Amino acid sequence: MNKTYKYRLYPTKKQIQKLNWTLDMCRVLYNSCLLDRKNSYIQTGKGFTRIEQQKILKEDKKRFRFLNEVHSQVLQDVLFRVERAFQSFFRRVKANSEKPGYPRFKGEGRYDSIIYPQQPGFQLISQGLKLSKIGTIKIKLHRKLGDGIKTLTVRRTNNKWYACFSCEIESHPLPVIDKTVGIDVGIASFATLSTGEKINNPRFFKTDQKKLAKAQKRLSKTKKGTPDRKKQRKKVSRIHEKIANKRSDFAHKLSRTLVNGFQVITFEKLNIKDMMGNNTKIFGHKLNKSISDVAWSQFMNFTTYKAECAGRSVIFVNPRNTSKRCSRCGQLVEKTLADRVHSCSCGLVMDRDENAAINILALGTQSLGFTLEAPSYL
């Protein structure tokens, strides 16, 4: 399986200038390739292919010597990005998407990563990370890097630099246990387990919302193109970064706890993209804003890849009627989003989300070919 390891880089001022220059040259090449494809289609009715643009790039490197100051594999990856952008565009057109999204030109500062597809372009040595055409950069290896390094992505985020190594690693299964769990994700509680345990919603965005609004207000008052606006934009970006880091840390820790504690983990297969279009207010807040804050997709993705590495199973089931169906008798009990208690005519009264989590687990175990025994308290 593939796994990405992310480490912080600490380049010198001279290396930062070189990295920024490299990103800008890649951005210029990306825009140039995009324009060439567009002009070719207008003139001939047929766009360039990646192979044709590689031949053009080879000739351009003879005419424009500065292109030789960027590693050849990094430049070739730019052509792959352009090709992927058009492939995605044509796929959306074929699917009759309302907004297929024609590939756009990259503005200044909008190209933030370079990729070394093969190891000759980079090398980990005792002094740091050696990058072809850039130099040796100090790197903090806070954890052991996996074997089988495939590619390296050097990324700029809020003027911080990171090295992301994509590695092909072997799975390390944990001992098999007989515990299974169904998980119902929500807004009031981040998640409710079929065991009855509730995970509180940390609401990271809501916590820092006032600080963010204050910073954005100051940004809107600064004049465009001034150093003050650039400085204030960084402050806004840092607040967003801190919120994202807190959310990611929470999801990593919770997913690890679940993978260590259960052999089979069952989620609902939610269409989160469609749910994000819901502007309904619940508990005084818009539903789409609350869904964005809890980041269910991130949590489920983290749990899935950790489970794959640990030899555990993650199952996604149809979410239809999991909240309405009684986990004791199977009868459908109508509820609104505001109804937080499940009360059935069979006499079962319990938390709505716990009832849903038990139903989710039952569907998951059925897909594995065995039936779940009802908890004793039901």
Residue of 77, 293, 353, 354 marked active site: 353
Query: 139 exposed, middle or buried (CB, 10 Å; 0-12, 13-18, 19+)?
Result: buried
Task: Give the 3-state secondary structure of residue 315.
Answer: strand
Task: Give the 3-state secondary structure of residue 275.
Answer: helix
Q: Tokens 């809890």 label which residue? A: 294
Residue of 24, 36, 178, 184 marked active site: 184
Is 353 marked active-site? Answer: yes
- For residue 243, what is the DSSP state? H
| List of residues 6+ apart from 156 with CB closer than 8 A | 19, 20, 23, 112, 113, 162
- C-beta separation of 74 from 117 below 8 A: no
- Give me the phi and psi of 365, to 5 degrees please: -70, -35
Residue of 77, 268, 293, 354 marked active site: 268
Residue by residue, DSSP assigns 325-367 as: B-TTT--B----TT--EEE-TTS-EEEHHHHHHHHHHHHHHHH
Is 184 marked active-site? Answer: yes
Give the chain's length.
378
- For residue 295, what is the DSSP state? T
CA distances to 71, 134, 138, 256 from 131, in Å: 9, 5, 11, 33
* Helical pair 72-94 and 13-44, crossing angle rounded to 10 deg: 50
CA gap 171, 151 in Å, rounded? 19
Residues forming the active site: 184, 268, 353
